[in-house]
Structure 1
Amino acid sequence: MKKINVLIVDDSAFMRKLIMDFLEEDDRIQVIGTARNGQDALKKIEELHPDVVTLDVEMPVMNGLETLKRIMKTNPIPVVMLSSTTYGGAYNTVLAMQYGAVDFIAKPSGAISLDLHKVKEQLVKKVVLASKANLHAFRMDESLSFSQTTSFLSDKNSSIELYPSSDNRVIPVKVAKSIVCIGTSTGGPKALQEVLTHLPKGLGAPILIVQHMPPGFTKSLASRLNSLSDLNVKEAEDGEIFQRDTAYIAPGGYHLTVRKMGTALTAHLNESEPRKGHRPSVDVLFESISQLKDYKKIAVILTGMGADGTEGLKTLKSVGNTVAIAESEETSIVYGMPKSAIGTGLVDEVQPLTFISNTISQYLQT
């Protein structure tokens, strides 16, 4: 069996040795080199041609973000970032995911983590997964040129009403009550950026999102997406009322569920047991939304490892009034979650990533 050749990039000699020892305990992996900064890494990549690179975010000479951008531009290979859980570290990690990193590991206790053994299994698992990632998907955005910004009001026969947006502008929207729910995992931050930045204001529905991420990172993800999108994007807060034209990301470490309070929908967070290893869980969110009998529900499953969302989708479909959309294999960084959902036969639309926002808009109009 061919081994996965890994290059380790970290400015700490101690961390390089620790990461190497952990990875080489797995007989599927061999470390073929190390680098102490980004410049050194770019040279080693040209010399060694690794299958996967582990890349520290914070380094001197050339930091992890700049190194990643150069890798993805000149010689795209799977990259797993290692990051601190500080606010700055979390935000830079989110940027890295949107620049093309396949996944990331949060160092337990800062730049030099003596307790890195706590995430050893995650590290090995994510390196193995990264070696199988669809790097071609990172270039699909350019090859699939398609105008996503379709007017929400293109259907002149639709019944509409005037509704104040969060910035007090009056926007015509559909009368029917609708809700959009999205589930994603590996490759999700980049996929969410593509979808949310091409959804226009005036959708007339809240968007609820589960992105598999540990605590401390989802707030940075929401902040980054909010800065890029016409929609409001925020981390969901317990008890808040969901607003139209706002996307809510489940906080890392909490399940996000929905409850009705009079005519409003409210967010409820809980720390009940992880579902299939995930908290937040797409299944938990989808099952909660299935209780909204008088709402049109649009469920979207994007790139990700595993099958989270499949059972929830079955529940949504069993109660009716649900449209299911899944990302196609050609653009999925990891075609696990979409493939599992499509395998149920319950998915209505299978679309490449660049078409998904337009598909959501169209279904909200009907």
Structure 2
Amino acid sequence: MKPYQVLVVDDSAFMRKIISDLIENDANFQVAATASNGREAIEKVNELSPDLVTMDVEMPEMNGLEALKIIMAQRPLPVIMLSGINEEGMKETILALEWGAFDFIRKPSISNSQDIIAVGVSLREQMKEAMLARQQREARASAYKVPELPAAEAASAPQPVRGPAKQPPEAPKKAPELPRKLADKPKAKPELSPAPEMVKGKGSPGRTSPEGALPPGAAKGPARLPKPASDPSRNRSKEEAKPVQPDSRPAAAANLESSAAGGDRKPNNKGLRKLVAVGCSTGGPRALKAFLENIPADFPAPIVIVQHMPPNFTKSLAQRLNTFSPLEVAEAEQGMILRQGAAYIAPGGYHMRVVPAAGGQYAIDLTLEEARNGHRPSVDTLFESILPYTSLERHAVIMTGMGSDGARMMKSLYDSGVTSTFAESEETCVVYGMPRSAVELHCVRHVLPLQEIAPRLVQAVK
């Protein structure tokens, strides 16, 4: 078989050499050409028609984000972004995924040979998945294509009897987007507070974290939750919020409270009754945007989300999604109480569990246990944590992603009588891996294209 042709784009000649060597360690791929900026990349895509592109995010003259938009508009093909770990690089990477990039990898440290090897393994895995996804799309398109009749046969073919023109079905109504800020009064940043008394759940007793690698919001020392902070800076607006690194985050983020833009979002504190858990991977940022922007602000259940992503990137993802969704979207922190009208994204590098808290409430528990199914956070870990809570109305969702993470525990939830299970259908998945695995285990009640998942979930929960 002829090797797939790859275009490598990076402004550093040394990095172009490293990435090219990593790609050609697999005989199924060959570097057709390299480019030093986005403008040159567009020219070479049009000239060579490569099968795949690796694209640096930050470059002079034209950066990777601008080049990606033009390529996806003119000649769509799989693009894997190479991202730096600085704040601007992470934000632009999240935008790239939203605008059609297949996936991303972080740039390797050129002084660390083990890191270069690890990035190479990840890159080759993503390239194989991208080519497999393309083959599946082409096979699906071919299967649905109606063969054309020769002109003579077409003229003599019986014509269908036409009745009155049917009106297309009405698209599900999108929840009205709440104003994000008022003219004179900025929206108050939601306050998230730790559980007053968090009961240790399965796997939590005696768990410790290595020094310097505590879960976000956890304090060093004895295993107890920090007191709610009274620092008035916690009430800053979203626009004023400054990003913080995982190990230096505030001890916990505060209770969701009413805001000028969104009204009173505080739930009845008599106890949580409903919960939604979501898992996704490759293609997930774009899927989460489509999903969360169609969940109304008065949604009567918290949403806990695992998106496979490295540390730090999940913070940028949560901030980006928060600008679209009527819900309050945040990166989860240790001890956060789950509230209605809010969505919590597991931080990269930490497993996220749901554990009981005082007063019939539930809280976030972050752990540094071993990777599961090759991932930390793992969807299976999240789904497993809600398995014992049969008094809760639980809903589980799996969307686009490679592999099978989440499928096994969705099956356990289904067998235990969970309220509903959803999976994204193949037609809209970037990679039909995780949803396919769940469907093959016969544990999915609703298999739906992406745009239909949120409306059906809202209907099921309300």
TM-score by length of 1: 0.89
1:52-71 equivalences under 5 Å are 52-71=52-71
1:1-366 equivalences under 5 Å are 1-109=1-109, 116-134=116-134, 146-149=171-174, 166-167=257-258, 169-170=263-264, 177-262=273-358, 263-365=360-462
- CA 171–89 in structure 1, closer or farther in 2 if over 3 Å, else same: closer
8 Å CA contact 1:15, 1:113 repeated in 2: no
Q: Aligned partners of 1:130, 1:321: CA distance in 2, in Å?
A: 33
8 Å CA contact 1:203, 1:361 repeated in 2: yes
For residues 292-317 of structure 1, the C-alpha deviation after alignment (integer angstroms, 9 at most, x for no partner) is 11111110000000100111102212
What is the DSSP-based 3-state SS (H/G/I as helix, E as strand, rest coil) of the residue aligned with 1:132? helix
What is the DSSP-based 3-state SS (H/G/I as helix, E as strand, rest coil) of the residue aligned with 1:73? helix
Q: CA shift at 1:228, angstroms?
A: 1.3
Task: Report how many residues are paired.
Answer: 346
What is the DSSP-based 3-state SS (H/G/I as helix, E as strand, rest coil) of the residue aligned with 1:133? helix
- CA 171–22 in structure 1, closer or farther in 2 if over 3 Å, else same: closer
For residues 83-128 of structure 1, the C-alpha deviation after alignment (integer angstroms, 9 at most, x for no partner) is 0111111111111100100110111348x98753331111111122
Q: CA shift at 1:165, angstroms?
A: 6.9
Q: CA shift at 1:289, angstroms?
A: 1.0
Q: Aligned partners of 1:149, 1:8: CA distance in 2, in Å?
A: 40
8 Å CA contact 1:148, 1:357 repeated in 2: no
Q: Aligned partners of 2:257, 2:30: CA distance in 1, in Å?
A: 53
- CA 146–2 in structure 1, closer or farther in 2 if over 3 Å, else same: farther
The unaligned stretches of length 5 or more in structure 1 are 138-143, 152-163
Q: CA shift at 1:133, angstroms?
A: 2.9
What is the DSSP-based 3-state SS (H/G/I as helix, E as strand, rest coil) of the residue aligned with 2:132? coil
Instruction: Tell me which residue corresponds to 2:208.
Output: none
Q: CA shift at 1:25, angstroms?
A: 1.4
8 Å CA contact 1:258, 1:266 repeated in 2: yes
Q: CA shift at 1:198, angstroms?
A: 1.0
The unaligned stretches of length 5 or more in structure 2 are 139-168, 177-254
Alignment RMSD: 2.4
- CA 200–292 in structure 1, closer or farther in 2 if over 3 Å, else same: same
- CA 107–133 in structure 1, closer or farther in 2 if over 3 Å, else same: same
Q: CA shift at 1:326, angstroms?
A: 0.3
- The letter of the residue matching 1:75 is R
8 Å CA contact 2:257, 2:266 repeated in 1: no
Q: Aligned partners of 1:335, 1:289: CA distance in 2, in Å?
A: 25
- The letter of the residue matching 1:166 is E
CA radius of gyration, larger in: 2
TM-score by length of 2: 0.71
Q: Aligned partners of 2:112, 2:66: CA distance in 1, in Å?
A: 23
Q: CA shift at 1:74, angstroms?
A: 1.0
8 Å CA contact 1:102, 1:133 repeated in 2: no
What is the DSSP-based 3-state SS (H/G/I as helix, E as strand, rest coil) of the residue aligned with 1:45? helix
Q: CA shift at 1:136, angstroms?
A: 6.8
Q: CA shift at 1:166, angstroms?
A: 3.2
Q: CA shift at 1:171, angstroms?
A: 6.7
- Name whichever structure is richer in strand by fraction: 1
Q: Aligned partners of 2:356, 2:118: CA distance in 1, in Å?
A: 40
- The letter of the residue matching 1:357 is A
